[in-house]
Amino acid sequence: MPRKQLKNLTEPMYYILLILKTPNHGYGIMQTVEEMTEGHVKIGAGTLYTLLSRFEKEGIIEALSEEDRKKNYVITNKGEKILEEEFQRLKRLVQDGEDTLRGGQ
C-alpha cells in the first residue's frame, strides 16, 4: 500500500508552504519564517533547499523565475490543498487541547 503523501507536515514544511502563498526565493523564505515566528522556527539552508527540491519534484511548488541567481517559487494548487489540510489538522489539535485543558469536555 503506498504511503499517503505528506500526511503531516513538519514546522519547516508548513512555514515554507505558508510563505509561498506569495512568490519568494530561498533566502527570503528563511528570513520571513524567522520573522513570522519571532525566531522560534529557523530553517537552515540545507533543510530549505532539500525541501524546495522535494516540493518542486512533487508538484507542490513551482519555480516562477530566476533573477540574480535567486530562484522564485510559489505554491501550486496541489500545495495549497496540502497546506489547507494541515491547517485544519492543526486547528483540530488546538481545539482538542482547549477542550481538555480548559474544561470544555
Domain presence at residue 6 = no
- H-run or E-run covering 52: helix 45-57
Q: Domain with 16 in it: what CATH number?
A: 1.10.10.10
What pTM, to 2 d.p., does this model score? Answer: 0.87
CA proximity to 6, closest of 48, 59, 45: 59
Domain presence at residue 19 = yes
Could you tell me which residue, 78 or 6, shows the higher pLDDT?
78
Domain presence at residue 21 = yes
Report the domain count for the chain.
Answer: 1
Percent pLDDT > 70 in the chain is 92
Domain presence at residue 51 = yes
Flag whether pLDDT at 1 surpasses 70.
no
Tens-digit pLDDT profile for residues 23-66: 999 999 999 999 999 999 999 999 999 999 999 999 999 999 87
CA 37 to each of CA 55, 62, 100: distance values in angstroms, whole numbers, following the listed order: 22, 24, 26
Domain presence at residue 49 = yes
Q: Are the C-beta atoms of 15 and 41 separated by less than 8 Å?
A: yes
Domain extent, residue 40, equals 11-101
Domain presence at residue 43 = yes
d(CA 101, CA 32) in angstroms, rounded, equals 32
> Comparing 7-16, 57-66, 96-105, which segment has the lowest mean pLDDT?
96-105
State the greatest distance between any 2 C-alpha atoms of the chain, in Å, as a whole number.
Answer: 55
Cell matching residue 76: 501550486
Could you tell me which residue, 3 or 4, shows the higher pLDDT?
4
Domain presence at residue 2 = no
Domain presence at residue 4 = no
